[in-house]
Amino acid sequence: MFAVFRKPKTFKLRALHSQKKFGVAGRSCQEVLKKGCLHLQLPVAGSRLCLYEDGTELTGDYFWSVPDNSELVLLTSGQTWQGYVSDISGFLSAFHRPSAGLIQAARQLLSDERAPLRQKLLADLLHTISENIAAETRAEDPPWFEGLESRFQSKSGYLRYSCESRIRSYLREVNSYAPTVGEEAQGEYTRIVDLMCQKLRAVQYNGSYFDRGARAGLRLCTPEGWFCCQGPFDVDSCASKHSINPYGNRESRVLFSTWNLDHIIEKKRTVVPALAEAVTERDGREVAWEYFYSLLFTSENLKLVHIACHKKTTHKLSCDPHRIYKLPTKSKRRRPARKCQ
């Protein structure tokens, strides 16, 4: 089809590094370029048109396939444009190792800022770049420890403690369920709680989950301390890409306490009642307490989630009926259990 029969294509055009746009229409690349150069008082020779978005050059073939009202940049000989996408990536790399001057400049901008959106963007940016992630001890980063007991001397130590204490509270809940199981089964129930307690002590209540210094398989974060939201219990990943580094600054540390360890198969509604039932109905069989242990206290059944990804509805999941009792094997000699709790 001849271009002359077509409706002209419309564009928004600007010069390199200029915020001012103007409308241009034309039936060919050349026509738009000529009009643009005329308007901007630039030479046509050596000039060309690029998409503002990603810098793709607008050529004869490509001309008709871009959408109407696309934004273009007019480049003269020697000028280049990689698109605003590269602007963002350039902007981000400037903050990878921010200089004191950069931070100061951002602070100045923020203090004069009235518009809420820009205020938020600047505040979030400052918050992020003013993190002192590498620091680990109280001496290296005193503000991080503000409000914490003096016994906490390292960030890893505190986060390890906070994880332990979460896991401990799960054990306490399991234990507090004991009086509700039948008279006959209570002894066995408390014996199992006791075994779980010993196992938890052996692994220090899985405090390593929050400890960036822990071995790779034992922690839920990167060696720098970044945690990523694992998404709602019934979804594979976090659509919002939530992430946090509680090691960064005090605010992140406080905010991290609103992140939850969510039991995929629910602790209170499902796992604990199932354990109680398994003990009551065991009928000579041996309860596979390690299975329940893994559901209650380990990352096998725990997801670390941002509060927005924490669904409090009933999960409607149940324990695997095939894993509740141990398979009948040759009897093992039982070691006397040490008192626990």
Binding of residue 151 to DNA (CB under 7 A): yes
Binding of residue 146 to DNA (CB under 7 A): no
User: CB-wise, 136 or 266, nearer to DNA?
Assistant: 266
Least distance (Å) between residue 324 CB and DNA: 19
Closest CA to 26 of 8, 14, 40: 8
Binding of residue 295 to DNA (CB under 7 A): no
Among 307, 318, 320, 337, binds DNA (CB under 7 A): 307
User: CB-wise, 312 or 335, nearer to DNA?
Assistant: 312
Binding of residue 268 to DNA (CB under 7 A): yes
Among 136, 141, 211, 262, binds DNA (CB under 7 A): 262
Among 77, 89, 169, 180, binds DNA (CB under 7 A): 169
Binding of residue 165 to DNA (CB under 7 A): yes
Among 35-43, 69-77, 111-119, 171-179, which window interacts with DNA (CB under 7 A)?
A: 171-179
User: CB-wise, 48 or 253, nearer to DNA?
Assistant: 253
Among 314, 332, 334, 335, binds DNA (CB under 7 A): 314
User: CB-wise, 27 or 199, nearer to DNA?
Assistant: 199
Tokens standing for 199? Answer: 């196992």
Binding of residue 285 to DNA (CB under 7 A): no
CA angle 129, 133, 139 (to 5 degrees): 120
Among 266, 276, 278, 287, binds DNA (CB under 7 A): 266
Binding of residue 119 to DNA (CB under 7 A): no
Among 111, 150, 329, 331, binds DNA (CB under 7 A): 150
User: CB-wise, 77 or 176, nearer to DNA?
Assistant: 176
186-195: Cβ within 8 A, 24+ apart: 188/279, 188/282, 188/287, 189/275, 189/276, 189/279, 191/337, 192/275, 192/279, 192/287, 192/289, 192/292, 193/340, 193/341, 194/337, 194/339, 194/340, 194/341, 195/289, 195/337
Of residues 173-192, those binding DNA (CB under 7 A) = 175
Binding of residue 259 to DNA (CB under 7 A): yes
Residues of this chain that interact with DNA (CB under 7 A) are: 147, 149-151, 161-162, 164-166, 168-169, 171-172, 175, 197, 201, 256-257, 259-263, 266-269, 307-308, 310-314, 341
